[in-house]
Structures are given as structure tokens and as C-alpha cells.
């Protein structure tokens, strides 16, 4: 039977500006996202004569109760959506070696979902163009389309509209250990992002758009110092972080950034 192994990297948000909230309840944002390959999940996907299924092998830092049900898993949703939309009758089994911490702001679930879409596209021989996969990805989650890209991106609207950016060179990004991550002002990590948005004071957000412009200029011109000087995240208005540490997504993962060979 056909099978495929695919790697699903984490992501870091170098900036997040929360510009406002629509009547629909969704928040309009702009963010600069990069892939962080040093932390990644590994997915093994293969055809099966049994029903579609998904299983996870958690790292020691991820407890089973954090994983939720199979039906709620974004990778499983990607599998079912791909099959239903494209009329695929063959069943598949998805096995995930989980290393990206759950509900961390690193996009692990979205990355897994995108990896499933890419893998099924190859295993079924459909070879759909990325634009068509992106339409499916948007139905799964706002962050999922980013993981179909190979470069950093500027994400706008609700995070699903992407503009590819140049690769960022000359900066080393490093995740801090989980025990040093801050405690978020939320009661339920399963609804972490929604609760973080609900806790925000929007009057304090969207005030650093000029910094985003400078960050984008630093990426375009290849100036790592200008990139480093303009990292920011409006969710940091809810937390008291140590100096020179940065929140990824809605947290709680934090990272550091240093310029390589500044002299």
C-alpha cells in the first residue's frame, strides 16, 4: 500500500498587529510568520483497508489529555475534508509523532493539517495546484494556508491572506524551554486563542504598525538588525515578559532572537 512520511514544522510570529474586530467577531490582523524547522512533528500517512483513523505518539512534554479527540484534531479534519471535497473513496491512516507542544502558539495543529493535505495530494495522484489546496486549508483554520508556503509570509485580513517574503538570514531564533514560558490569563487551553482575544484591550492594540513596516523593510533589504529591533506582538500587552524574549502567536511559547556575527 502507498505510504508517505512528511515533516510538519512549527511557526514563529515575528510580529502580530491586531487591527480591530469585525461585526462577525473575527479579528483583523497583520503578522509576519516564519517556519521554525528546529521543532517539528513527523507524520506517516498510508492507505488502509480499515476506516480512516488518526493516532498520535506524544513526546514526554505532551500529556495524552492535551491531544483531545480524533474528530477534533485538525489533521483528521483535513483528511475528511480532502476526501469529501474531491470524492476520494480510499481510506487512510495518519500517525503523528508529536513534538510541537499543544496550544503553544507554534501552530502545530495547523502544520499537521497542511501536511496531511500535501501528503494526500501526492498519494492520490491528484497533484492539485497549491492555490486549490489553499482553498481547502482556509476551511480548516486561518493558519493552515501558511504551512503550504515555503517562505516567510505577511499574513493579513484574518491571517489567511498571505504575501510571500524573502528568506530571513543572519538571525538565529531559539525557543525557550517550556518551563520558562509564561502563564496565560486563560482558564481552558483548549480554547486558548479565543480566550486570549477576548481578554485583549483593543485600545492597546494596533499601535505598532510603523514597526511592522520597518520589520518588513529589514526583511526586504536583508538587514537582520532592523528585523530584530522591530519584533513585537500585541498579545504581549497581556503579559510581563523578560527583556529580549518574544511571544509567538497567542502564546505561551516564547523565543529569543540574536543577530549572527554582528561585527
| Active-site amino acid positions | 11, 143
Cell numbers placing 58? 506524544
User: Do the bridges between strand 171-175 and strand 161-164 make them parallel or antiparallel, or are there none, so unpaired?
Assistant: unpaired
Cell numbers placing 95? 500517525
- Spell out the long-range contacts of 62-67 with Cβ–Cβ below 8 A and sequence spacing 24 or more: 62/98, 62/101, 62/102, 66/102, 66/103, 66/189, 67/98, 67/102
Give the containing element (helix H, strand E) for 162: strand 161-164
Rounded CA separation 52/61 (Å):
27
Rounded CA separation 32/36 (Å):
13
Rounded CA separation 205/236 (Å):
10
What burial class does residue 261 get, using C-beta atoms within 10 Å of its C-beta: 0-12 exposed, 13-18 middle, 19+ buried?
A: exposed
* Residue carrying the nine cell digits 500585541: 234
Task: Fill in the DSSP letter of residue 37.
Answer: E
Give the containing element (helix H, strand E) for 130: helix 130-140
Q: Are 114 and 7 in contact (CB under 8 A)?
A: no
Amino acid at each position: 500500500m502507498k505510504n508517505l512520511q512528511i515533516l510538519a514544522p512549527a511557526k514563529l510570529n515575528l510580529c502580530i498587529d491586531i487591527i480591530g474586530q469585525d461585526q462577525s467577531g473575527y479579528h483583523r490582523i497583520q503578522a509576519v510568520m516564519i517556519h521554525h524547522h528546529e521543532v517539528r512533528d513527523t507524520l506517516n500517512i498510508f492507505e488502509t483497508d480499515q476506516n480512516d483513523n488518526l493516532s498520535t505518539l506524544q513526546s514526554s512534554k505532551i500529556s495524552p489529555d492535551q491531544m483531545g479527540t480524533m474528530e477534533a484534531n485538525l489533521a483528521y479534519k483535513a483528511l475528511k475534508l480532502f476526501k469529501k471535497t474531491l470524492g476520494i473513496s480510499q481510506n487512510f491512516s495518519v500517525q503523528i509523532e508529536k513534538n510541537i507542544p499543544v496550544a503553544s502558539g507554534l501552530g502545530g495543529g495547523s502544520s499537521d493539517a497542511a501536511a496531511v493535505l500535501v501528503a494526500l495530494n501526492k498519494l492520490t495522484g491528484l497533484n492539485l495546484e497549491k492555490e486549490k489546496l489553499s482553498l481547502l486549508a482556509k476551511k480548516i483554520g486561518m493558519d493552515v494556508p501558511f504551512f503550504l508556503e515555503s517562505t516567510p509570509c505577511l499574513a493579513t485580513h484574518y491571517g489567511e491572506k498571505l504575501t510571500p517574503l524573502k528568506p530571513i538570514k543572519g538571525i538565529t531564533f531559539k525557543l525557550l524551554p517550556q518551563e520558562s514560558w509564561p502563564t496565560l490569563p486563560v482558564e481552558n487551553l483548549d480554547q486558548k486563542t479565543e480566550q486570549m482575544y477576548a481578554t485583549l484591550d483593543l485600545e492597546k492594540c494596533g499601535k505598532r504598525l510603523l514597526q511592522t513596516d520597518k520589520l518588513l523593510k529589514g526583511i526586504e533589504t536583508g538587514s537582520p538588525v532592523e528585523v530584530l529591533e522591530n519584533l513585537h506582538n500585541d498579545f504581549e500587552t497581556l503579559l510581563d515578559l523578560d527583556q529580549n524574549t518574544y511571544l509567538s502567536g497567542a502564546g505561551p511559547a516564547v523565543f529569543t532572537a540574536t543577530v549572527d556575527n554582528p561585527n
